[in-house]
Every structure is written in structure tokens, then in C-alpha cells.
Amino acid sequence: MRPFEYASPTTEAEAVDALNDHDGQTMVLAGGTDLLSLLQRDAVQTQRVVDIKKIDTLKSIEQVDDGVLIGATVTLDEALESPLLAGHDSLAQVIDGHRAIQIQSSGTLVGDLCQMPQCWYFRNGFGVLGRKDGESLAELGDNRYHAVFGNSGPAKFVCASRFAPSMVAWGAKVRVIGPGPEDEQFVPLEYFFVTPRLESQGVNVLKPGQLVTHIWLPTVADVKSGAYEVLESKGLDRPQAAAAVCLQTEGDFVRDARIVMGHVAPTPWIAHEAARALVGQRLDEDMAGNIGDIAVSKATPLSMNEYKVAMARAAVKRSLLRAVGKLDDALV
Ligand SMILES: Cc1cc2nc3c(=O)[nH]c(=O)nc-3n(C[C@H](O)[C@H](O)[C@H](O)COP(=O)(O)OP(=O)(O)OC[C@H]3O[C@@H](n4cnc5c(N)ncnc54)[C@H](O)[C@@H]3O)c2cc1C
């Protein structure tokens, strides 16, 4: 591992200050479950790691007027235990899917949103675009885990975040501070992720000297939510495809819908057309399957990953049925 400085600020202002040194060649450390392995592999380089775990304002989950604020060092287990998130079923379902006490007790929700791609070309030092001698390795080589949507440009990786689909479906925002001492903005999560055309663009909108301090989740009455991840193993695993939905219903009929797929594109992939088609319909197993068909109808698989399209369809269908409590009875 290359040497780097370590900073452990105790306030948000100190964190911004510490991130701004070295021309912003610095990185945030939360639970460290992903960042440390990236540094060990030399997949990322940094002059300084800024550990945010000692900042009190980032440690809690709080009720605010129109929602819930989740601090950047709140772990997956703390989120699962919080009564303030009890109504957000899809989040609990994704935490449950991790099946790894180490990740659940140390990993943070914000760290999950900000994590770099799992793409094996990136992890082996070829950058987020996975290029060698000007050629896309994912295009020429093994692309079985790569994108089936949003892959017409140079980025072929899939967004690694497991919570992004459910958070985007909920309409979450992230509070971003820096690089200036007074700079603060709430960014809708659906605009947080980036499909880079250039290596320097990164995978989200964060610029050097910025960090996410909180996730804001709206509390909306009468919303039914569900998530479904297609996993290969019963243990520690990453989804091949996933989906999360938020629905407003009247009896068996859907009044409003948000459907977001995960692990299929460089960003969470919102299925607008499928959601529109569901409004006004009775949600049963056949309808859920039809909506799954619509959600994947414009997929553009690469040479080795057509199988992911069927998985994404199944994830949409099952997350819809899960949201309305019909998954266990379904034939799927
Ligand atoms: C053995 C092992 C297995 C794993 N298995 C899985 C798995 O099966 N599925 C899965 O989804 N994940 C897995 N992970 C990945 C990881 O544990 C999770 O994504 C976790 O939620 C990341 O949270 P963290 O707090 O540890 O993030 P960190 O590792 O601290 O940070 C992750 C990234 O986010 C950035 N970051 C963190 N916080 C902020 C912030 N506040 N503002 C700006 N940037 C920030 C960091 O700079 C870094 O790039 C695994 C990790 C390990 C070590």
C-alpha cells in the first residue's frame, strides 16, 4: 500500500478543511470496508484519508419536519434498528440481503452510495472506464457483470450501490458540503450518480473537497415499498440485478409508482415507462410480469450478459409483488 496521511476531524468544518488540502487529492473514510481494499490494491491513490467517524453530527438518525436525516456514519445495523426507518420496508429488505454481520456492523449507508464500481477492470487498475491502450476492456473482454442499460458510451460498469435503487424510489436527497467552508446543498439522489464519458468525471457529482454528510429520506404516508435483489449465493454476495419500488395504492389498484433498477447501468436506472404503465392498473402477478417486460424492453446487453436482462425483469416483478405483500403466494 502506498503511504498516505490520516486525518480524524471532529467537526464537519474540519472535515471540509482536511479534504481541501493537497489540491483535493484526498478521500473520505467511513466504515472503510471498501476503501481500504481499494487502497491496498492501488486501484485508487490518495494523499490523505479523512476519517469522519469522530464527527458527532454524522452519527445519528433524526426526525425532521418532512422526513428523516441519516448521518454519514450510521451503519447498516443502526439503520435497521431505528424506529424512524420502520416504515421504509425496502431499505430493511436490502440490509437483510447483505447476510454479512461484518458489513452490516461497520459499513455505512452513505459509504454504500459513494462506493466505487466493483468492475474487475477498475479494481485491477484500469480506471472506471476500464481502458487499456485506448480500447474498452469490457467491450472486448469478459463483460458478464457489466451494464445492460446506459452502456452506449465508454462507461460499461454498473453502479455498485445496493441502497441507491430503494433510496431513489423514495425520492431521497443527499446533503453535500464543501469545498468552500459555507457550501451546502441537497442533491436529489437520482442526479447524484454520473455516467462518465471521461475518466476524470468519476462516478458521482462530488468534486474534490466535498463530502456527503446526510441522506434525507421523505416520510410519506401510505407508501408501500419493496426491493428484490437477484443474488448468486446465500452468503456474502453482490446482486446481479436488483429493483426497488414505491407505490401508492387504492385497494388493489396503483395510483402512483416509482420503479428503479440496480446493478444494470452505471447509475440507478429509473423505469419511467414501466411506472407509467402501472398507474391505474390492478397489481397482480400477471401485471407485475408485464411491467417487468416493459422495464427491460429497451435493454442493450453486451456480448456476455444477456442473462442479466431476464434477472432485471424478475427483480422488477418480484419487488412489485413484495411491496403489496403478494410475493410469497406468487408462482414467479
Ligand atoms: C469482504 C467484503 C465484502 C463485501 N461485500 C459486499 C457485498 O456483498 N455487497 C455489497 O454491496 N458491498 C459489499 N462490500 C462493500 C462495502 O462493504 C459496502 O459497500 C459498505 O456499505 C461501504 O460502506 P463503508 O462505510 O465501509 O464505506 P467506505 O469503505 O469507508 O467508503 C466507500 C467509498 O465511499 C466513499 N465515502 C464514504 N463515505 C463518504 C462520504 N460521507 N462522503 C463522500 N464519500 C464517501 C469513500 O471515499 C469510498 O470511496 C464488501 C466489502 C468487503 C470488505
CA of 238 to the centre of ligand 1 (A): 12
CA of 281 to the centre of ligand 1 (A): 39
CA of 116 to the centre of ligand 1 (A): 8
State which ligand 1 atom lies nearest to the alpha carbon of 103: 17
State which ligand 1 atom lies nearest to the alpha carbon of 115: 33
CA of 37 to the centre of ligand 1 (A): 10
pTM for the full predicted model: 0.95
Residue range 83-97, pLDDT digits in tens: 999 999 999 999 888
* All structural domains of the chain with their residue ranges: 223-323
CA of 329 to the centre of ligand 1 (A): 35
At residue 233, the pLDDT reads 78
Is the domain spanning 223-323 CATH 3.40.190.150? The answer is no
What angle is formed at CA 262 by the lines to CA 256 and CA 266, rounded to 5 degrees?
A: 120
C-beta of 55 in contact with ligand 1 (< 6 A): no
Encode the chain (332 residues) as per-residue pLDDT tens digits: 899 999 999 999 999 999 999 998 999 999 999 999 999 999 999 999 999 999 999 999 999 989 999 999 999 999 999 999 999 999 999 988 877 888 888 999 999 999 999 999 999 999 999 999 999 999 999 999 999 999 999 999 999 999 999 999 999 999 999 999 999 999 999 999 999 999 999 999 999 999 999 999 998 889 999 999 999 877 778 899 999 999 999 998 999 999 999 999 999 999 999 999 999 999 999 999 999 999 999 999 999 999 999 999 999 999 999 999 999 887 77
C-beta of 72 in contact with ligand 1 (< 6 A): yes
What does the alpha-carbon distance between residue 44 and residue 115 come to, in Å, rounded to a whole number? 12
C-beta of 322 in contact with ligand 1 (< 6 A): no
